[in-house]
Amino acid sequence: MFIKIRPFLCYLPFFILFNFEIKAQSVDISVNVLQSFLPQAKLYIHRGTELELIDSVYFTSPGVFQFTLHPGYQQGLYKVNIGKGISLDVVVGGEPLIDVSTVVYAPNDSLKSIHSKENALYWEYLNVKKQQEQLGWLIGSLMDFYPDSTVFYHLLSYELDSKKKEFYAWSKSIALQNSKLLASKFIQADQGPPISNHPKIGESIQQITDSWWQDFDFFDTRLLYSPHIATRLWGFIELLFNDGYDMEEQVEAFCNGISDLMQRDMDVQIKQYIRAILIDGFAKSDYLKVVDLLETTGFKGIEPIRKKNNKPDSTDLHQVNIGSKAFDFIINLPDAKQIRLSELESNYKLVFFWSTWCPHCIESIPKILKTYEYYSRKEFEIVAVAIDQEEEEWKNFIKARNLKWINIHMPYSVDNEIIENYNVNETPKMFLLSNDLTVVSLPATVRQLEAKLKKLTKRKSK
């Protein structure tokens, strides 16, 4: 039995209706899978990081699958699924025949093609990249066993830097040697400049950021039909992250870097796609000001998604912002006394919402405790508000870990005025306040808390 589903085109919402990288000729894709145990294979096309089903066929003979892309097909990176959890990527450029042979138990390691230069080049790149990643993991694992002050650690670091540079130079070379192939575009899009592990060698992070996009073709819309834009983009965002920044400095770094990127000359479809995946990614983070920037700013060639609203609406009434006054509330102390948050005499106060069932909270608490113990109570105090329902579990937790800061048990309720005024919709959530309850920082990580306290107190953080 032989079944075919005719290919179709369906563009993502942010794609422009017309795309000129469609071809008048058809493409035959022949896939020969040795030791195949399934009668059916499926063909998908990458649409960014998503996959769209294009075709589904049964074998013509055991292990042999034939796909045909009819005139009007989209050039890009396709994926052939040949079994449960078994798939391989295929570059569809301008070649009329793509032959693929592999073994089902090692599909990506045994890929071969006689007629397709596109795929021979792309698979070679993927195999070398895999070897490079495995070597990097091995060297990194060895480095974990040695303090960064030892000679051997530095030797390993130099070796890792050297291997990264060799791979980058090699991938750039094969792409230039085969510049007319679509596979070369994918290779160049996938590879940013290598980042040095050793602080005394290589380019600075700023230099790498400035050169990160130098080989990227912002006008080739075929890249939209691959995951490589997203890979390159999140590598760029990672460069903008700095452990030494406090929350507000980090937000500024993200906004500045993203603004510079979005003002570049590029195809409108690619710019819309970059904006869409950045919004989706940052909407799941604590950096919502980045989302606000992306949605309310008109960048070169594209309009804002929405107008910036400077007046708070009903959903913003309890947003806590830098410079605003935090909600004051009564704290019940262990000795049955009560004190208001504003009456705590510390120069800086951290209101920390957490729960015993939150893994990120549990991971953060030992680090927060180190920071707490480093400063005097005159300098810094913590009010830890646990929103657990079970009080006994909370008591056992703080006793076992000897948490001597101010602990409050407050079961979560949407009607609770403290939870409402601090807009607690997740844990952990931290608010660093001055003595008069002015919000000075909204740290998302302990490192950001340490960085801000270091600047405020003029002391070196622990």
- The closest alpha carbon to 89, from 132, 133, 59, 125, belongs to 125
Q: What is the pLDDT of residue 318?
A: 55
Q: What is the pLDDT of residue 394?
A: 92
The stretches in the chain having pLDDT less than 50 are 1-20, 199-202, 312-317
Query: What are the DSSP calls for 355-419, one per residue?
Result: -TT-HHHHHHHHHHHHHHHHS-TTTEEEEEEE--S-HHHHHHHHHHTT--SEEEE----TT-HHH
What phi-psi label fits residue 76: left (phi over 0), alpha (psi between -120 and 50 degrees) or beta?
Answer: left
Q: What is the pLDDT of residue 16?
A: 40
Q: Which two tokens stand for residue 3?
A: 């079944």
CA pair distance 28, 283, nearest whole angstrom: 41
Return the CATH number of the domain spanning residue range 330-457: 3.40.30.10
- The closest alpha carbon to 349, from 318, 322, 378, 386, belongs to 378
Segments of the chain assigned to CATH 2.60.40.1120: 27-107
Q: What is the pLDDT of residue 409?
A: 92
Q: What is the pLDDT of residue 259?
A: 92
Q: What is the pLDDT of residue 205?
A: 59
Q: Kindly report, residue by residue over 299-345, the tens digit of the pLDDT.
A: 999 999 998 776 544 344 456 888 999 999 999 887 778 999 999 99
Domain 27-107 in this protein, CATH class: mainly beta
Segments of the chain assigned to CATH 3.40.30.10: 330-457
